[in-house]
Amino acid sequence: MNIYKNSIFILFAHPALQKSRVNKQLIRYVRDIEGVTFHDLYEEYPDFHIHVAREQQLLVKHDIIVFHHPLFWFSVPALLKEWMDLVLEHMWAYGKKGMALKGKKLLSVISTGGRESLYQEKGYNRHTMGEFLYPIAQTARVCGMDYLPPFVVHGTHTITKEEISRHGEDYRKIVTGLRDGTIDLELARTLTKLNSDTDHILTEQEE
Ligand SMILES: Cc1cc2nc3c(=O)[nH]c(=O)nc-3n(C[C@H](O)[C@H](O)[C@H](O)COP(=O)(O)O)c2cc1C
């Protein structure tokens, strides 16, 4: 039985975790939190043969779904895209009778090689992270889900170990806050990313 306000499902997708600097550390801060199910897609399905019914059962059991992945070509890694294509079925996730995910929340947790300054209208990438995330945000909406502002770690090539740890702490606070319902979501929605002022959006600090 879930004793927490919300159960959290972290759908993690990184095809080369052994080479990871950032995400390998970030997941250490959240994977063992009580009330959180950590699901490593590349570990579960190295051959890309996704067990659709199993994934759907896992989704139904949780209140908040987290897509955690590095940004690959301004999008999700291939296995997460395959997962979306197969698991979010018509008449299950969307369509007239597709109500399975209605009312759940979706959060993107993303790392990018590019620095934050590149993700501006006048920057090298010409668009903000929010704009690059429109396909996921709209997927969530079509499934009747509530898409939260993302948690983003930029500049992974130059980020220091201390900065990674700080992001890890923030990630843990946000996941715990979502689990306990102690995040001011109204305030959070005014931010372009959830971790731009983590302590500000928490209505109670974790112990
Ligand atoms: C195939 C591939 C595509 C990538 N595409 C982007 C991109 O579109 N934008 C960006 O900022 N970084 C991009 N990167 C950099 C990754 O986002 C970065 O290496 C990752 O976030 C680092 O996380 P890690 O240390 O956990 O591997 C790409 C990396 C790879 C391997």
pLDDT in tens, 26-44: 999 999 999 999 999 999 9
Looking at residue 1, its pLDDT comes to 57
Closest ligand 1 atom, CA of 24? 26
Mean pLDDT of 147-168: 98
Largest pairwise CA distance in the chain? 49
Mean pLDDT of 48-57: 98
Provide the residue ranges of all domains of the chain, joining segments of one domain with +.
Answer: 8-201
- What are the DSSP calls for the chain, one per residue? ---SS--EEEEE--TTGGG-SSHHHHHHTTTT-TTEEEEEHHHH-TT----HHHHHHHHHT-SEEEEEEE-BTTB--HHHHHHHHHHS-BTTTBSTT--TTTT-EEEEEEE-SS-GGGSSTTSTT-S-HHHHTHHHHHHHHHTT-EEPPPEEE--TTT--HHHHHHHHHHHHHHHHHHHHT-B-HHHHTTSSSGGGSHHHHBSS---
- Rounded distance from Cα 140 to ligand 1 centre (Å): 23
User: Is residue 59 pLDDT above 70, yes or no?
Assistant: yes
Looking at residue 193, its pLDDT comes to 96
- Rounded distance from Cα 71 to ligand 1 centre (Å): 5
When the pLDDT of each residue in the chain is averaged and rounded to a whole number, the result is 96
Q: What percent of the chain has pLDDT over 90?
A: 96
CB under 6 Å to ligand 1: residues?
14, 20-24, 70-74, 111-114, 156
- Rounded distance from Cα 141 to ligand 1 centre (Å): 26
CA distance 197 to 53: 38
φ and ψ of 163, to 5 deg: -65, -40
- Give the alpha-carbon dihedral of 200, 179, 61, 77, to 10 degrees: 50
The identity of residue 57, as a single letter, is: Q
Looking at residue 49, its pLDDT comes to 98
Tens-digit pLDDT profile for residues 182-192: 999 999 999 99
User: Is residue 133 pLDDT above 80, yes or no?
Assistant: yes
Mean pLDDT of 94-122: 97
Mean pLDDT of 56-78: 98
- Rounded distance from Cα 117 to ligand 1 centre (Å): 16
Second CATH level (architecture) for the domain 8-201:
3-Layer(aba) Sandwich (3.40)
User: Is residue 205 pLDDT above 70, yes or no?
Assistant: no
Between residues 28 and 205, the one the model is more confident about:
28
